[in-house]
């Protein structure tokens, strides 16, 4: 062992591979192709053992396929935009572009020292205008297809990062980056219409046979398909009504009151004449600052206020009170619920607390016919200590009495559609993807505003719309773009008059949603992709990355693939044939990350034992799918 000198052996062979271009990939129809890809890193400055494990797993697969005669594409690049770079540059008094490039140069050197089999001639960096030029073109094509829109919307706002977050970037009501509490704001925002693809994204989960079952389940749950009936409760005084979506139309005759989310747009109008309006507004403001997890927790005390207004149950024709409740969320359904306290536990607890009426509409069925049951075996409203949420037969339901509640769902839906007071509808938990970010270090959104022509996409020949360099970053975290006249002021390409640019930048998950396609032809300058290369290499045969991206990057990449298909750029439905979600590297009880300050730098290991030792240990210490608890002694 005294003769083992890794710095000599490893450098010799790494130089040999570089000189021979051993891992440079070109299209070769005579050989079977294999596209191996690991999720590309954010250039934070240095790689850590979490990176090493991810890339070692991928490199083992790539080398194995090389040795079995496959034509292997194994690229690497940089997810280079985003808040951390901007914040770090602000702290160090540097331009984010310079800070990012320094980090890329250092991390590239580290990865080459690890001896990975990357085709470095295909390297991409998402902050390069040559890259995001094509992202801006894709945005314009999506805009023209009606897949992009702008509206004022309640959005997730991270006060620490000073930017909006998509729903998928809020974890347990905290920012996925800084982990600080997220609040709500009403802002004009740009959105991608990912909901247009909700059904296809759900249906095509059946194609993902090479994906871990838990990732598929997470995506299915996030998309959250529910089938039910949408109908309206007319207001008793004046015009207007409140739309409701329910998956339990069989219980509609038991709806004795309504509950609305505090954020529901009708609430200000409903409480306008309430004698305790100020008290209700204080309640709404307080609940609006709370996270959805705590608001909807089973053990959370149910709170609410009577709005002072009433609506009509369209089937019973009864006048029922409209309440505002803390456990109702605007993001689910229509933000309004028909409250059936006898058959929904949350409604039951709320009704008991505020003395609201109960009406039983489902009786459980015993083994013997119902007619033979004694009266004492029947449920009664007065004796109920909790909601009955099981199956049974309908009672107190007019013409539908005696039907099983399952059969009644279809019968009542048929009846409501026949008299035009309701319609069957499919709802999804998935919401459109908010892509506006109030940051500097991101791809500019290619939109201009003209007093005469309105809001319109930039002319394609003007792309890329590049970020102005070397702007002074305000210390309070705001973007400097709105104050940069050279960037903001432009000319309308339609009428020639003065115009202004959009100063929001794109969510960085947009860049990572299509980078795997750009790797097939990274230097092509006639469009986003070269058709022959795309057809040869795609889809990715094996993707390697963290399960934490199950409803972030992976869902967005699937959406983007389908959009690129419909725009005529690719011919596939799904981007990744097989997915390996490696376990995390854990140190001090937490995932290894620079933000947590618990990273292990591989360089001391490499300098002492060599890259091969660091690689083998990261593979030996735990199976790929399991977490690895870091132990310095294990090396």
Quickly list DSSP for 30-92: TS-EEEEEEPPPP--SS--HHHHHHHHHHHHHHHHHHHTT-EEE----B---SHHHHHHHHHH
**How far is 389 from 247, CA to CA, in rounded Å?**
13
Specify the DSSP class assigned to residue 236: S
Decide if 330 is inside a domain. yes
Q: Is there a domain that residue 54 lies in?
A: yes
Hunting for tokens 């008991």 — which residue is that?
352
Q: How far is CA 20 from CA 14, 17, 23, 59, 384, in A?
A: 10, 5, 8, 18, 79
Other beta carbons within 10 angstroms of residue 177's beta carbon come to 18
pLDDT 10s digits, 160-204: 877 778 776 787 778 877 888 888 788 899 999 999 999 999 999
Handedness of CA 428, 430, 433, 439 (dihedral sign): positive
Q: Which residues of 315-343 are buried (b: 16+ CB within 10 A; e: fewer)?
A: bbeeebbbbbbbbbbbebbbbbbbbbbbb
The CA angle 574-580-582, to the nearest 5 degrees, is 140
CA–CA gap between residue 73 and residue 63 (Å, rounded): 11
Contacts of 366 (CB under 8 A, 6+ apart): 373, 377
User: Do 419 and 321 have their domain in common?
Assistant: yes
270 and 414 in one domain?
yes
Q: Which residues, 6 or more positions from 213, have their beta carbon under 8 angstroms from its beta carbon? A: none
Q: Do residue 255 and residue 388 come from a single domain? A: yes
Q: Give one DSSP letter per residue of 405-471, joined into a string.
A: HHHHHHHHHHHHHHTTSEEEEEEES---EE-EE--SSSPBP-EEEETTTEEEEPPGGG---PPPSSP
Rounded Cα distance between 179 and 170, Å, is 9
Is the same domain home to 273 and 187? no
Q: Cα separation of 251 and 337, whole Å?
A: 12
Q: Which two tokens stand for residue 489?
A: 């002021």
Q: Could you give the 3-state DSSP secondary structure of residue 420?
A: coil
Same domain, 112 and 137: no
How many domains, in total, are found in the chain?
3
What span, in angstroms and rounded, lies between the C-alpha atoms of 551 and 193? Answer: 16
- 171 and 146 assigned to the same domain: yes
Q: Is 215 within the bounds of a domain?
A: no
∠ at Cα 584 (580, 586), nearest 5°?
Answer: 165
Q: Same domain, yes or no, for 68 and 162? A: no
Rounded-to-integer distance, Cα 398 and Cα 400, Å: 5
Same domain? 91 vs 171 = no
Q: In angstroms, rounded to a whole number, what is the distance separating the alpha carbons of residues 605 and 408?
A: 68
pLDDT score at 172: 75
* Residue 579 belongs to some domain of the structure: yes
Token pair for 250: 């069989």
Nearest by Cα to 471 from 458, 488, 493: 488
Q: What is the largest CA-CA distance in the chain?
A: 92
Distance (Å, whole) CA 89 – CA 441 = 10
Stretches in the chain below the pLDDT threshold 70: 1-2, 168, 291, 293, 366-377, 595
Cβ neighbours around 624 below 10 Å, total: 18
> What token pair was written down for 32?
């079977």
Asked if residue 159 and residue 98 are part of one domain, the reply reads no
Domain boundary among 368, 400, 428: 428
Host domain of residue 160: 133-193+432-506
pTM to 2 decimals? Answer: 0.88
Taking a C-beta distance cutoff of 8 angstroms, is the pair 365, 392 a contact?
yes
Note whether residue 395 is domain-resident.
Answer: yes
Which of 487, 509, 607 lies closest to 555, judged by CA? 509
Query: Would strands 362-363 and 393-394 be described as parallel, antiparallel, or unpaired?
Result: antiparallel
CA distance 328 to 337: 8
Rounded to 5 degrees, φ, ψ at 446 are -80, 65
Whole-angstrom Cα distance, residue 286 to residue 288?
A: 5
Structure tokens of 42? 């954010």
Of 398, 394, 364, which is closest to residue 379 (Cα–Cα)? 364
How many alpha carbons lie under 13 Å from residue 389 in its C-beta half-sphere?
Answer: 10
Domain final residue pick, 375, 398, 428: 428
The answer to whether the CB of 80 falls within 8 A of the CB of 433 is no
CB 31 within 8 A of CB 70: yes
CATH code where residue 301 lies: 3.90.740.10
The SS3 of residue 526 is: coil
Q: Which of 366, 400, 428 is the last residue of a domain?
A: 428
Give the count of beta carbons closer than 10 Å to the beta carbon of residue 569: 19
Tell me if 354 sits within 8 A of 256, measured CB to CB: no
Whose CA is closest to 35, among 73, 76, 77, 75?
73
Beta bridge partners of 175: 170
Identify whether 209 is part of a domain. Answer: no
Length of the chain: 635
Work out the angle at residue 62's Cα, subtended by the Cα atoms of residues 60 and 68, and round it to the nearest 5 degrees: 105
Q: Do 288 and 408 fall within a single domain?
A: yes
Range 589-592 contact pairs with CB under 8 angstroms and sequence separation of 24 or more: 591/50, 592/48, 592/49, 592/50, 592/630
User: Is 181 part of a structural domain of the chain?
Assistant: yes
DSSP state of 210: B
Give domain status of residue 607, yes or no: yes
User: Is the CB of residue 425 less than 8 Å from the CB of residue 247?
Assistant: no
Same domain, 189 and 265: no
Is 46 in contact with 601 (CB distance < 8 Å)?
yes
My answer on whether 367 and 444 are in the same domain is no
């Amino acid at each position: 062992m005294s003769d083992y000198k890794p710095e000599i052996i490893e450098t010799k062979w790494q130089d040999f591979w570089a000189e021979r271009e051993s891992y440079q990939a070109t299209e070769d129809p005579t050989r079977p192709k294999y596209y191996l890809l690991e999720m590309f890193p954010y250039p934070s400055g240095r790689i850590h053992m979490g990176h090493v494990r991810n890339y070692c797993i991928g490199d083992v697969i790539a080398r194995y396929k090389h040795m079995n005669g496959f034509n292997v594409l194994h690229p690497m690049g940089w997810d280079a935009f985003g808040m951390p770079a901007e914040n770090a540059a602000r702290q160090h008094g540097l331009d984010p572009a310079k800070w990012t490039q320094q980090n890329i140069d250092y991390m590239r050197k580290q990865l080459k020292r690890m001896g990975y089999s990357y085709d470095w001639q295909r390297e991409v960096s998402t902050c390069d205008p040559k890259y995001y030029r094509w992202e801006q073109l894709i945005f314009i094509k999506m805009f023209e297809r009606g897949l992009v829109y702008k509206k004022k919307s309640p959005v997730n706002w991270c006060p620490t990062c000073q930017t909006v977050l998509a729903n998928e970037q809020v974890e347990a009501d905290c920012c996925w980056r800084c982990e600080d509490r997220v609040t709500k704001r009403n802002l004009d925002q740009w959105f991608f219409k990912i909901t247009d693809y909700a059904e296809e994204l759900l249906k095509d989960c059946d194609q993902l046979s090479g994906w871990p079952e838990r990732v598929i389940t997470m995506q299915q749950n996030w998309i959250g398909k529910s089938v039910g009936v949408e109908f309206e409760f007319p207001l008793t005084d004046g015009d207007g009504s409140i739309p409701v979506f329910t998956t339990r139309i069989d219980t509609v005759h038991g709806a004795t009151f309504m509950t609305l989310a505090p954020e529901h747009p009708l609430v200000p109008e409903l409480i306008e004449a309430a004698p305790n309006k100020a008290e209700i507004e204080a309640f709404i403001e307080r609940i609006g600052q709370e996270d959805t997890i705590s608001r909807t927790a089973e053990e959370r005390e149910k709170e609410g206020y009577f709005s002072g207004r009433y609506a009509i149950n369209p089937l019973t024709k009864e006048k029922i009170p409209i309440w505002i409740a803390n456990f109702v969320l605007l993001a689910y359904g229509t933000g309004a619920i028909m409250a059936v306290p006898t058959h929904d536990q949350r409604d039951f607890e709320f009704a008991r607390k505020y003395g609201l009426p109960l009406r039983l509409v489902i009786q459980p069925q015993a083994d013997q016919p119902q007619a033979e049951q004694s009266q004492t075996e029947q449920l009664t409203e007065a004796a109920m200590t909790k909601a009955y949420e099981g199956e049974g037969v309908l009672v107190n339901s007019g013409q539908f009495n005696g039907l099983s509640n399952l059969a009644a769902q279809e019968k009542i839906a048929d009846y409501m559609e026949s008299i035009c007071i309701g319609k069957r509808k499919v709802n999804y938990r998935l919401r459109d993807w908010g892509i506006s970010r109030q940051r500097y270090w991101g791809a500019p959104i290619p939109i201009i505003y003209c007093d005469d022509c309105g809001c319109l996409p930039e002319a394609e020949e003007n792309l890329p719309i590049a970020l102005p360099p070397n702007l002074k970053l305000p210390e309070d975290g705001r973007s400097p773009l709105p104050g940069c006249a050279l960037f903001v002021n432009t000319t309308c390409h339609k009428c020639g008059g003065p115009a202004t640019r959009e100063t929001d930048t794109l969510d960085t998950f947009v860049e990572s949603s299509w980078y795997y396609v750009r790797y097939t032809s990274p230097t092509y300058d006639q469009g986003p992709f070269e058709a022959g290369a795309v057809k040869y290499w795609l889809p990715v045969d094996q993707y390697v990355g963290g399960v934490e991206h199950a409803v972030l990057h992976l869902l967005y990449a699937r959406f983007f693939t389908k959009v690129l298909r419909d725009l005529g750029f690719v011919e596939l439905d799904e981007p990744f044939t097989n997915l390996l979600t490696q376990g995390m590297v854990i140190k001090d009880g937490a995932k290894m990350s620079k933000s947590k300050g618990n990273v292990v730098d591989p360089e001391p290991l490499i300098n002492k034992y060599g890259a091969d030792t660091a690689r083998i240990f990261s593979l030996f210490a735990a199976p790929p799918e399991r977490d690895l608890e870091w132990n310095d002694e294990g090396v």
